[in-house]
Structure 1
Amino acid sequence: INSIQPTQAKAAVLRAVGGPFSIEPIRISPPKGDEVLVRIVGVGVCHTDVVCRDSFPVPLPIILGHEGSGVIEAVGDQVTGLKPGDHVVLSFNSCGHCYNCGHDEPASCLQMLPLNFGGAERAADGTIEDDQGAAVRGLFFGQSSFGSYAIARAVNTVKVDDDLPLALLGPLGCGIQTGAGAAMNSLGLQGGQSFIVFGGGAVGLSAVMAAKALGVSPLIVVEPNEARRALALELGASHAFDPFNTEDLVASIREVVPAGANHALDTTGLPKVIANAIDCIMSGGKLGLLGMANPEANVPATLLDLLSKNVTLKPITEGDANPQEFIPRMLALYREGKFPFDKLITTFPFEHINEAMEATESGKAIKPVLTL
């Protein structure tokens, strides 16, 4: 059911590297093909948005935002299973037909980079324009949800129950999914295993919640921020270490897990932290890597180190999750009281997007969510 008229909306448009975002009127042509038009009610701010604003080369002008949640307003003529009025969470884009997508691994889609970071082309002659009629790039991560309306695709639109707190659900599509998926999918944690999370941001704490839900113990967090260490303990961590005020971090962790931990997760992308993580893992264990590293950073281990320690390094994208399956799994745990992701969220009015971005950079907020 589509209007033939463009949708009048407002969006936070990025016109120059480094920002700021400017709230501007835009026009979105109706959804076509497999597209859906979503009225956004909440959208998370992710560190990836900061990186794409400041350094990662995205086409400008562009609308960023990739943790949107909202209500479907209209659908394209190829969409099945979704309809106007459905409450939805938007996740990352995938082609749907490459080898990995065909084997239920959309997070490893062979078109991951161009479809998500480039902002894919819209179906047919679909457009997003500013009030001067000039094109603005959309479909960043298949959504560009820093706005009052967004075009997404059916493949990255996940229907959710109407009684859930819709405005808070957007981060389940990226940051929270990445952390929880790292624990549950990428590393395959099991009850009774031990686990260390380096970094207590939204991704790291989501991994903590998922690991706790699985019955992992000991569950160790390494995080310099005192408030985040306290929250990690509240969310289920058994131990929390301050890396800057622990004389010998590896030795202290080894006191808790003398043989080393079964697995660990680095969310920092810092070589020194990764080196410590490798030294804390038992033979045969895995280290998940999902921190956004400096392009010049190298893995702080030789091949002989990895062979002798028998540690596997596992790069992780989007928690190796299929959003259509994994978002409902997280929400089921949330309903059971085992995945209180809402404790990570601080809300900001949409118009305060630049303030929310600053809160992300400074760490004032673990997971800012803009509400509309």
Structure 2
Amino acid sequence: MFAAQYNPGNKDLTLKDDYPVPHPGPGQVLVKVAACGVCHSDVAFIDGSVLPYPLVLGHEISGYVVKSGDGVTQSFRADALYAVLAIHPSSQSVNGLPALFDSPGAAYDGGFAEYILVRPDQLVPVPAGVSPELAAVAADAGINAYKFVVHSAQIDGTRKRTVLVIGVGGLGHQAVQIAAHFGATVYACDPKPEARELALKLGAVEAFSPSELEIKVAEGFVVNVAMDFVSRKSTFEAAKAILRHNNLSFPADPRLIVKAGMTSETLEFTTFDTLTYNLTIVTPQYGSRLDLEAILELYAKGAVTPVVSSYPLREVNKVLNDLRNGDVMGRIVVIPGEF
């Protein structure tokens, strides 16, 4: 089969036409990959040589079950599309890495290939009307955007919330839609004019550049929640600044900063920040099966529509370079086999 293999120390994935098709062992199923998202964490794995062993990357996967191993009692229709839950409840530390890495494209071969092995409990049925491309995006960007908004930021329709989404990228542009769907007043901040325009189209009432946001904050602009999908020093300081300006009565609900992005930068805060300004800083991880089911339903209803571009898997190195250079709007998926 065709696959794109990561090798530590190499910036490009190795494209192989003769990568062996895996055989499902006990408790495994063989999935024909329909689409696989390309994530910033894939770039981080490659550029930082995070994984010390070669394997096929790709953890944002949708596909069809073609074969089951011994002991698998579930039956699967050949034409039924599934999204793959990357991190399942029994995930554990592997190869000296945390349980978060017990996932396709990190602990074992992932979706930058024509076939992949997974466990049956990783498969989540995709509702009718949701394409393989959207189903793949749901498996990481979608599930996490949903969890971060609904559970971490507590935007679930039960109370009136104002939220600032910092970084209108693969997760952020979905967070804008999810928050608006649940009745929040949504603002957005991004240095790219096209990202700000997208945020307005997707439900934000205003969208600012970083310099415009600084001026707005100085004028007294406030929100209840700041969701930082960038997580650099500059965006963390902006999130703290916009929440400090809230005029608080006592006692009051905490002002939330949701750290939804991942970088290696050191971010600083003091107990003076958290206690005096009543800040709660939340650093969520991957969502649950219920979260994946929920975001797939929002896709099916048209309440959330991710911006997705598709490329052949053979162009995955170009896609990775586009991500490195910040030349991607929304999310990108790669399609194995014929395109």
Matches of 1:241 and 1:269 in 2, distance apart?
17
Give the 3-state SS of the residue equivalent to 2:174 in structure 1: helix
Q: Deviations over 1:314-365 (max 9, x none)?
A: 00112xx213x22221122223221111xx2111111100111112222222
Q: Does 1:349 align with 2:312?
A: yes
1:211 paired with 2:211, answer: no
| Range with greater deviation from structure 2 (192-201 or 149-158) | 149-158
C-alpha separation in 1, matches of 2:204 and 2:213: 18
1:359 to 310, 314, 322: 322
Gaps of 5+ in 1: 1-8, 97-108, 120-137
Q: Are the structure 2 counterparts of residues 162 and 223 from structure 1 closer, same or farther at C-alpha, using a change threshold of 3 Å?
A: same
3-state SS of paired residue (1:40): strand
Contact 1:360 1:368 in 2 (8 A): no
* Alignment deviations for residues 66-124 of structure 1 (CA, whole Å, 9 cap, x no partner): 1111111112233344525131111222352xxxxxxxxxxxx66495455366xxxxx
Quote how far apart the aligned CAs of 1:250 are: 2.1
Q: Which residue of 1 aligns with 2:267?
A: 298
**Count of matched residue positions in the alignment of Structure 1 and Structure 2:** 321
Partner Cα distance (1:207, 1:114) in 2? 26
Partner of 1:33: 26
- Is the alpha carbon distance of 1:238 and 1:56 closer, same or farther for their aligned partners in structure 2, counting shifts above 3 Å? farther
Q: Give 1:191-340 correspondences, 5 Å limit.
A: 191=157, 192-217=160-185, 219-245=186-212, 248-251=215-218, 254-255=220-221, 260-281=222-243, 282=246, 284-295=254-265, 297-299=266-268, 301-318=269-286, 321-323=287-289, 325-340=290-305
State yes or no: 1:182 paired with 2:148.
Answer: yes
* Residues 11/110 of structure 1: CA separation in 2 closer, same or farther (3 Å cut): closer
The residue type paired with residue 309 of structure 2 is T
Counterpart of 2:56 (choices 59, 63, 78) is 63
> Matches of 2:282 and 2:100 in 1, distance apart?
21
CA contact (8 A) 2:63 2:81 kept: yes
Is 1:94–2:94 an aligned residue pair?
no
1:22 aligns with 2:14: yes
Q: Secondary structure at the match of 2:171?
A: helix
Q: Secondary structure at the match of 2:112?
A: coil
Aligned equivalent of 1:46: 39
Indicate conservation of the 8 Å contact 1:93/1:142, yes or no.
no
Partner residue of 2:334?
370
Normalised by the length of structure 1, the TM-score is 0.80
Structure 1's 190 and 69: CA in aligned 2 closer, same or farther, altered over 3 A? closer
Three-state SS of the structure 2 residue aligned to 1:69 is strand
For 1:77, the equivalent position in structure 2 comes to 70
Mark the CA change 1:206 to 1:81 in structure 2 (over 3 Å): closer, same or farther. farther
State the Cα distance separating 1:143 from its structure 2 match.
Answer: 5.7
CA shift digits 1:155-198 (9 cap, x unpaired)? 32212135431233211111222122200122211442101111
Percent of residue pairs identical: 24
Q: Is the 8 A contact 2:133 2:310 kept in 1?
A: no
Q: State the superposition RMSD in angstroms.
A: 2.2
Q: Which amino acid aligns with 1:188?
A: Q
Alignment of 1:117-196 (within 5 A): 117=101, 140=106, 144-161=110-127, 163-191=129-157, 192-196=160-164
Label 1:70 to 1:162 Cα distance change in 2 as closer, same or farther (>3 A): farther
C-alpha separation in 2, matches of 1:194 and 1:247:
18
Q: Which consecutive residues of structure 2, in runs of 5 or more, have no partner in the other structure?
A: 249-253
Moved more, 70-79 or 304-313: 70-79
Cα contact 2:187–2:206 (8 A) shared by 1: yes
